Amino acid sequence: MKIFVISDTHFNHENIISYTGRPFKTIDEMNREIIKKWNNKVGKEDLVIHLGDFALGSKEEIKELKNKLNGTILLIRGNHDHQSKINEAGFIIIEDCIIIEDKIFSHYPLPKEEIPNGLINVHGHIHGKESLGGINVSVEKTNYEPLELEELEKLVKNKF
């Protein structure tokens, strides 16, 4: 089993294309491309840590999108992940942060004083912007595909 990380897929979110300058003409094109890239990397038995803002839409649409993706998805709830719609889609849901080895995973970039000593904050939320104190894994920074933890480790070594 491999572990991957990704953030801010914003499936079905039409305004995100212009807001972040995503290279897609329509939400259908964006959804198809992110799903294709996801499934080309992630196997059925893998784990994906999604750092929030998975999708917009009805409960049924969100569940349908999730079911098209390989792997088990652990979702750290983002500001666009509405509880009533996300809870029934089959995610493993985390309401706060999780720590794995020397990394603390969150949706929002954490303030420096909230990051325990020796940990690196891996987050999303800021889309194409550079993270000042951590690693931004919003899809705009990861070529619209999940990063395997080994790939993430290379980013950490290059930055810190």
Q: Mean pLDDT check: name the lowest of 39-43, 54-58, 88-92, 132-136.
A: 88-92
User: What is this structure's pTM?
Assistant: 0.96
Tell whether the model's pLDDT for residue 82 goes beyond 90.
Answer: no
Task: Give CA–CA dist 29/150, Å, rounded.
Answer: 29
Tell whether the model's pLDDT for residue 28 goes beyond 90.
Answer: yes
Percent of the residues in the chain that have a pLDDT greater than 70, as a whole number: 100
More confident residue, 147 or 159: 147
Q: Using pLDDT thresholds of 50, 70 and 90, give the confidence band for residue 68.
A: very high
Q: Which residues pair with 50 in a beta bridge?
A: 6, 75
Q: Using pLDDT thresholds of 50, 70 and 90, give the confidence band for residue 90.
A: confident
Q: Using pLDDT thresholds of 50, 70 and 90, give the confidence band for residue 87.
A: confident
Of 29, 149, 2, 16, give the one whose Cα is nearest residue 78: 16
Q: Using pLDDT thresholds of 50, 70 and 90, give the confidence band for residue 122.
A: very high
Average pLDDT over residues 31-39: 98
Tell whether the model's pLDDT for residue 83 goes beyond 80.
Answer: no
Tell whether the model's pLDDT for residue 152 goes beyond 80.
Answer: yes
* pLDDT in the model for residue 89: 87
Q: Which two tokens stand for residue 115?
A: 């990051």
In the three-class reduction of DSSP (H, G, I as helix; E, B as strand; rest coil), residue 153 is classed as helix
**Distance of alpha carbon 110 from its chain centroid, rounded?**
16
Q: What are phi and psi of 89, to 5 degrees?
A: -90, -5
Tell whether the model's pLDDT for residue 38 goes beyond 90.
Answer: yes
For the chain, the straight-line distance linking the first and the last C-alpha, in angstroms and rounded, comes to 27
